[in-house]
Amino acid sequence: MVAGLRLRQVRERLGLTYRDVERASFEIAGRRGRPEFIIHISRLADIENHGVVPGLHKIYTLSVVYRLNPVEVCEWYDVPLKEHFADSISFPAPVTHLIASPSGLTIPVRFDPAFDPRRTEFLSRMIERWGQLEGSLFNGNGNAKYRYGYVGLDDRRMHPLLRPGSVVLVDPTQRRIENSDWHNEFERPLYFVEVRGGYRCGWFFTDANRLVMQPHALSHCQSETWRTPEEAEVVGRVIGVVMRLTDS
């Protein structure tokens, strides 16, 4: 009822009648080619007054007609779309895969004046205020600058350097494999690669028209080879890692 009341209040503030909303919904349905966008007067009354939950298409219609953010409308119905990233990584999967980017990131916006970035500190005590960085700042117009990958619980190819269950930040602008110019395993670039039937995350090198994955020596996994570009495509270079140091 609370969500329906909010929708009614927005409609009334805009000076729209039930008939206006119904008429607009028909136009949206015609434009999008799907009758599910239509909201009849009787259904709108049920949504506003009797706690009926609108479906996805009707939430879109209401958001368009009422000039609302559909993410906010979903939150009125206790569907926390902004939390999808945090919730998704709490349900581990066995295989490595790409995951949808978060809608926003929580970042420190004010540090304690005594904070010295040159020293090792307990960070939680040095942050005076946290804030939200909206995902649209770096994922504008649907073209994400970065992508996120998940290392499956069954993927031990880079263990112990990269533990199963890790979340990696991938830069898709860095897709050229560097075969050299690094001095130790911590400097060696990690890449996220789409292969036939799945994904791989780890060390790679090129050999003519073949892409070779070299697992960490302590993982006891075997090397794998694919023809490029027929069987493998580099998604990007791993530039960040969130990794648990203990089993969850």
Q: Is 151 left (phi over 0), alpha (psi -120 to 50) or beta?
A: beta
Same-domain check for residues 179 and 156: yes
Q: Of 89, 108, 114, 109, which is closest to residue 99 (Cα–Cα)?
A: 89
- Which CATH number does the domain housing residue 210 bear? 2.10.109.10
Q: Taking the CB of residue 93, how many other CB atoms lie within 10 A of it?
A: 16
Backbone angles phi, psi at 174, to 5 degrees: -105, 90
- Which CATH number does the domain housing residue 70 bear? 1.10.260.40
pTM of the model: 0.67
Same-domain check for residues 71 and 127: no
Determine, yes or no, domain membership for 34.
yes
Instruction: Please compute the mean of the pLDDT values over residues 157-180 and round it to a whole number.
Output: 92
Determine, yes or no, domain membership for 91.
no
Determine, yes or no, domain membership for 87.
no
- Work out the percent of the chain whose per-residue pLDDT is above 70: 83
Backbone angles phi, psi at 129, to 5 degrees: -150, 135
Total structural domains within the chain: 3
Report pLDDT for 137: 40
Report pLDDT for 98: 87
Same-domain check for residues 151 and 137: no
Q: Taking the CB of residue 38, how many other CB atoms lie within 10 A of it?
A: 18
Sheet holding 210-214, edge to edge: 97-99, 147-150, 167-171, 232-242, 191-195, 198-207, 210-214, 224-227
Distance between CA atoms of residues 100 and 87, nearest Å: 12
Domain boundary residue, one of 25, 42, 76? 76
Q: What domain range includes position 124?
A: 102-142
Instruction: Band the pLDDT of 88: cuts 50, 70, 90.
Output: confident
Same-domain check for residues 158 and 123: no
pLDDT by residue (tens digit) across 96-127? 888 877 766 565 656 677 767 666 555 666 66
Inter-axis angle of helices 18-32 and 56-66, nearest 10? 120
Same-domain check for residues 159 and 228: yes
Residue 219 clears pLDDT 60, i.e. is over it: yes
